[in-house]
Amino acid sequence: MPSQLQAIDLHPARLHRPLLALTALMSISAVACVVLAIIAPVEILGTNGWLKPLKFSISIAIFAATIALILDTISQGSRTPSRRLWWMGTVIAVALLIEQVVIVAAVLRGTTSHFNVADPFVGTLWTIMGVSIAAVWVLTLVLGIVVWARRGGDPARRAALRIGIVVGLAGMAVAFFMTSPSSEQLRDFQGIAGAHAVGIADGGPGIPLLGWSTVGGDLRAPHFIGMHALQGMPLLVWGMERLAARVPALRRSSVRTGFAWIAGALWAGVTAITTWQALLGESVLDPSLPIVLATSALFAAGCIAVTAVLRGTGRETAAAVGLGDGNRGR
């Protein structure tokens, strides 16, 4: 029953201070980027250059707050020394801050930040950014290992956190596909080695704000989708807990846990399919038949799995009622 669930033990004063400070700083940065995009626009690759640091400000703020919550969760009853966890969070905060500084500096210079090796200075900045991103990924992987080693607590919450980190790491890893120079770049080198887009040059028509290409493949789509499983999966379980008072089936931990695993499998599947689609050079808005069929099969399997969980719950309920009637007959 929902009343038997242990309340989430959240104390803001106990959360990781450097990560919270970074969250606040990136929130301010997001507002500043909006203002600068209006009063001092900078055109880079055909778009307003301030949109990139705006997106990264929002993403870094969300990611930093999420890692702060994960650190607080695993520090409770964890065998990992809290001081070691604190340093891991601090390194993540510093690495993310470095990434944002490089992005903003590039906009101020009127050039791109990612994949830019046109001269030794910008090449060094890109290398520093790459090292920072890799450090964040490795430390998040270490946190994931600690999360998977934890026992106890509500199984659905535990499943959501485990799945969220695994799929989130996969989504983050999609970025490594972007760092290899294309054959066109190698044939006519212009100081750019790598790209978000596949089959076309970076820039051009894109989805508003997100910027994902509407005319070719774009690896930012699976990167975004996969990475945000870190937030989406725990929020899904939290939502099921809130709905449990109105939806009797969700009062069972086994149902919430089953749904969490199904949602995680779907999230992982969508991340994999959109990665495949991007590598094929297809826009997310113009899927080919194989992509449509794969997506349809994925969600059909999800529906079957949901039905199986609900039927299993129905059989458990029927068995419990039958046992109760038998006891009353005695």
Q: Which two tokens stand for residue 175?
A: 């970025």
Query: What is the rounded distance in angstroms from the CA atom of residue 234 to the CA atom of residue 256?
Result: 12
pLDDT at position 319: 47
Taking the whole predicted model, whether its pTM rises above 0.75 is answered as yes
pLDDT at position 320: 45
pLDDT at position 1: 40
pLDDT, tens digit only, all 330 positions of the chain: 444 555 555 556 678 899 999 999 999 999 999 999 999 988 887 788 899 999 999 999 999 999 998 888 877 655 555 788 889 999 999 999 999 999 998 888 888 787 777 778 888 888 898 899 999 999 999 999 988 888 777 899 889 999 999 999 999 999 888 887 776 766 766 677 778 888 887 777 888 878 888 888 999 999 999 999 999 999 999 999 889 888 888 888 889 999 999 999 999 999 999 999 999 999 999 999 999 999 999 999 999 999 999 887 655 554 444 445 555 555
Spacing of C-alpha 147 from chain mean position: 16
Helix (H) or strand (E) holding 44: strand 43-44
pLDDT at position 120: 83
Shared-domain flag, residues 142 and 174: no
Shared-domain flag, residues 94 and 228: no
Shared-domain flag, residues 278 and 295: yes
Amino acid at 213: S
pLDDT at position 187: 72
Shared-domain flag, residues 157 and 145: no
Q: Which two tokens stand for residue 258?
A: 């089953």
Q: Is 48 helix (H, G, I), strand (E, B) or coil?
A: strand
Query: CATH number for the domain including 92?
Result: 1.20.120
Shared-domain flag, residues 222 and 91: no
pLDDT at position 328: 52
Shared-domain flag, residues 185 and 311: yes
Shared-domain flag, residues 98 and 120: yes
pLDDT at position 329: 52
Residue 45: which region, alpha, beta or left (left: phi > 0; alpha: psi -120 to 50)? left
Shared-domain flag, residues 135 and 177: no
Q: How many domains does the chain have?
A: 2
Shared-domain flag, residues 68 and 204: no
Residue 39's domain spans which residues?
12-149
- End position of a domain, from candidates 124, 149, 174: 149
Shared-domain flag, residues 127 and 179: no
pLDDT at position 186: 67
- The number of CA neighbours under 13 Å toward the Cβ of 85 is 25
pLDDT at position 2: 43
Shared-domain flag, residues 158 and 120: no
Q: Please, are residues 274 and 222 in contact by the beta-carbon 8 Å criterion?
A: yes
